Amino acid sequence: MKKAGDRLISALSLARYQHVKMIILEFAQDIEDKHLTLLKSKGAESLQDLESLNLNACQKISDNGIEAITSICPNLQALSIYWNVGVTDVGIENIIKNCRQIIHLNLSGCKKISDRSLHLIADSYQGLEKLDITRCIKLTDDGLQQVLLKCSSLQSLNLYALSSFTDKAYEKIAFLAHLRFLDLCGAQNLTDKGLSCIARCRELISLNLTWCVRVTDVGVLAIAQGCRSLKFLSLFGIVGVTDTCLEALSKSCSNTLTTLDVNGCTGIKRRSHKELLQLFPHLRCFKVHS
């Protein structure tokens, strides 16, 4: 979108946008801090009712821009700033200070934020329902544990490509009694011990264990026993699982599982479509190794 910043300012000056609820500026590279600061200086009463703001990949926005826009959106409930490598803990602090009603927060790719941000989120957004911290590479077990302890309303947690987390990070995950979606793709330090803790999240319907290379049948058996409503499960690239885990899953999730990925799981021999459908008759999407 060319001249996105100027077009945003012009649009918000029109009467028909006085009570706008959602703004999507994804990949609007022309949006800069100066545009958001100008909106703040104008008062921008039209943003008082804004509930959802998407600034994904708007990489010219820094902490200053985040402070400016959030200061005039007090009723914001959903904020997405995916792939913004300029935002730091200061930006997260301003979001929390200005927007007290956030329930959906996407910080995917915000590589400069640290555990300080997770501590702030845990202390301030205990009603948070959705959190995405994909590739936030400075985060440690300590920061994640604070979120697990205090954000007990979480339904969706995306931890994609966060290989630094260890089993310690997941010890408190059972506090998330309403968790339904969990993405652990690339969690290379997750072992069966950590997965056994995750198995206590009995409401899980989607679990991505792609490239969780230290997991074996032991951990997946725990999942089969604890998570009996799974609809989506990926074991892609896990060589330590065998037919044993599939048989256990078939006893608990045969009526619910619709998507299964066991591509690259060389220990699984029941690899034909027919054999998988015998175990999981409701499968609509499945991948196996050749």
225, 181, 236: which is closest to 206 by C-alpha? Answer: 181
pLDDT over 70 (residue 248) = yes
**Region for 44 from its dihedrals, namely left if φ exceeds 0, alpha if ψ lies in -120 to 50, beta otherwise:** left
For 23, the token pair is 């703004």
Domain that holds residue 246: 176-290
pLDDT, tens digit (0-9, with 9 covering 90-100), for 249-272: 999 999 999 999 999 999 998 778
Tell me whether residue 15 is in a domain. Answer: no
Asked whether residue 224 is assigned to any structural domain, the reply reads: yes
Distance, first Cα to last Cα, the chain? 43
82 inside domain: no
Q: Give the per-residue pLDDT at 289.
A: 63
pLDDT band at residue 39, thresholds of 50, 70 and 90?
A: very high
Residue 45: count other Cβ atoms within 10 Å of its Cβ. Answer: 11
Q: What is the pLDDT of residue 243?
A: 95
Q: Calculate the alpha carbon distances from 229 to 209, 273, 288 in Å.
A: 16, 22, 22
Identify whether 263 is part of a domain.
Answer: yes
Cβ contacts of 113 within 8 Å, gap of 6 or more: 87, 88, 89, 91, 92, 107, 136, 138, 139
CATH of the domain at 245: 3.80.10.10
- Does residue 144 form part of some domain? no
pLDDT at 239 over 80: yes
In a domain, residue 180? The reply is: yes
149 occurs within a structural domain? no
125 vs 147: CA distance, rounded Å: 9
Query: Quick one: pLDDT band at residue 1, thresholds 50, 70, 90?
Result: low
Q: Collapsing DSSP states into helix, strand and coil, what is residue 11?
A: helix
Any idea which residue has 């490239």 for tokens?
211
Say if 283 falls within a structural domain.
Answer: yes
Question: What domain count does the chain have?
Answer: 1
Bridge-based pairing state of the strands 232-234 and 52-54: unpaired
